[in-house]
Structure 1
Amino acid sequence: MKSSNLLMVSEICIYHNIEPDFVNSLLNAGLVKPAEPENTLIPVTELQKLEKLINLHRLDINLAGIEAITHLLERVEILHEDLQTLRNRLSRYEGA
């Protein structure tokens, strides 16, 4: 992965004015995927997810709450995709 596609955790923390421990706890919980095992670089593709989690943290939601919210949002997305698939299959029979 090119270094231009990676962000340093320390720079993210400075930009968002958050503690590195919080980002490290997100990395350790598997909520954000690091670019390398040392957890010092994060891919740009993970930035949007990380910023959403930072916003939840700013609402005084603890790590366990953030994990629960993330899990529920992933389940909603899966259910939404399943519903769309079923609607598409049903529309084939409605026109016949």
Structure 2
Amino acid sequence: MNTTNLISIEQFCTHYNVPVTFITALHEYELVEITIADSENYLQTNQLNDVEKMIRLHYELDINLEGIDAIYNLLKQVENLKSQIRTLKNKLNSYEDL
């Protein structure tokens, strides 16, 4: 399997000095997706920014995993609402141009 857009969870956890169980717990809360290739677990590189934020929330701000789950679900809702607003503004602008 091509692993160019993947990073080993072991390598990631070593670099950030976090236990592998933290990433596993994030996966159980469906906050990250783990890819298995060649009998090793990987994170997708497009998830790294979010995982770094989750690490800071948990280890620097002492927010538990349930709190992180709530925060990220709310952030997803905000992004969806922003997208809907953008779409509605574009539709409104097209009617105003008539």
TM-score (norm 2): 0.87
1:53: which partner in 2? 54
More strand by share: 2
* C-alpha distance after superposition, 1:56-90 (max 9, x if no partner): 11211100000000000000000000000000000
Q: How far is 1:11 from its partner?
A: 1.1
Higher helix share: 1
Q: Percent identity?
A: 36
Q: Does 1:66 align with 2:68?
A: yes
State the aligned residue count. 96
- Structure 1: segments with no counterpart, 5+ residues: none
Between the aligned partners of 2:90 and 2:63, the Cα distance in structure 1 is 38
The residue number in structure 2 matching 1:31 is 31
The alignment's C-alpha RMSD in Å is: 1.8
**Alpha-carbon contact 1:8-1:42 (below 8 Å) kept:** yes
Question: Where does structure 2 lack aligned partners over 5 or more consecutive residues?
Answer: none
User: Normalization by structure 1: what TM-score?
Assistant: 0.88
